[in-house]
Amino acid sequence: MPPLWSQVNAFHPQLWRAVCGYELNPALREELMQEVLLAIWQALPTLREHDRLLPFVLRVAHNLGASHVRTATRAPAPLRLDPVQHDVPDPATTDEAERARSEWLFEALVTLPLRLRQPLMLQLEGFDYGEIASLLGISQENVGVRLHRGRALLKTLLSQEDIA
């Protein structure tokens, strides 16, 4: 077992979110997650800076995710975001509303081009412009432009859902 493998377990939620941004089918999501974990296992010995484990594992996830689009032939229509359900603070329905909102977000993300989707997903994960630029291998200015365009597209999708 490679060193640091036990620490990778702590990053499963982050890896899962990255996987969800590339694949909507639940069975294929699990398959991709397994593929990502296997690649991380094999690549871990190449990691030099041990304190940079999260960017390292996310780099693997985004690389394999981008490569995985070969199976995604058609982008499905985004799920309806129900504002009535989202505004209800009842704890019994809050979980369901959050799940629906989360699914809507992933379905909306899948419709975005990869160049816009990747920086947006990394920003949602909490990375700053410099870290996103380093992960994607592009300049910070380019990250800014892509994020601006990606957010604008997401806002348009959200407003379309609100109108519908």
Partner 1 sequence: MTEFDKLMQSAWQTARPPVDGAALAASVHRTRWHQRLRRCLETVLTLVGIALLTRPLFGGATTPAYWLVMPFFVAYLPTVWWLLLRNTQPSPADVAQSVRTFAHTRLNQLRAGLRELRIARFAAIALLAYASVATISAFAFGGPAWQAPARDLLAYAGACALATLWLSRWQGRRRLREYRAMRRLT
The residues binding partner 1 (CB under 8 A) are 5, 9, 12-13, 15-17, 20, 26, 30, 33-34, 37-39, 41-43, 45-47, 56, 59-60, 62-64, 66-67, 69-71, 73, 98-99, 101-102, 104-106, 113-115, 118, 124-125, 134-138, 151, 154-155, 158
Helix (H, G, I), strand (E, B) or coil at 82: coil
Nearer to partner 1, 26 or 77 (CB): 26
CB of 82 to partner 1, least distance (A): 13
* Tokens standing for residue 131: 């870290």
* Cα–Cα distance list, 94 to 10, 97, 106, 107, 143 (Å): 26, 5, 18, 20, 34
Helix (H, G, I), strand (E, B) or coil at 65: helix
Q: Which among 137, 80, 149 has a CA at the least distance from the CA of 112? A: 149
Nearer to partner 1, 46 or 77 (CB): 46
Nearer to partner 1, 102 or 160 (CB): 102
CB of 104 to partner 1, least distance (A): 7
Distance CA 134, CA 54 (A): 13
Distance CA 104, CA 82 (A): 10
CB of 106 to partner 1, least distance (A): 7
Distance CA 4, CA 11 (A): 11
Nearer to partner 1, 82 or 125 (CB): 125
CB of 10 to partner 1, least distance (A): 8
* Tokens standing for residue 149: 């365009």
Nearer to partner 1, 50 or 155 (CB): 155
CB of 73 to partner 1, least distance (A): 8
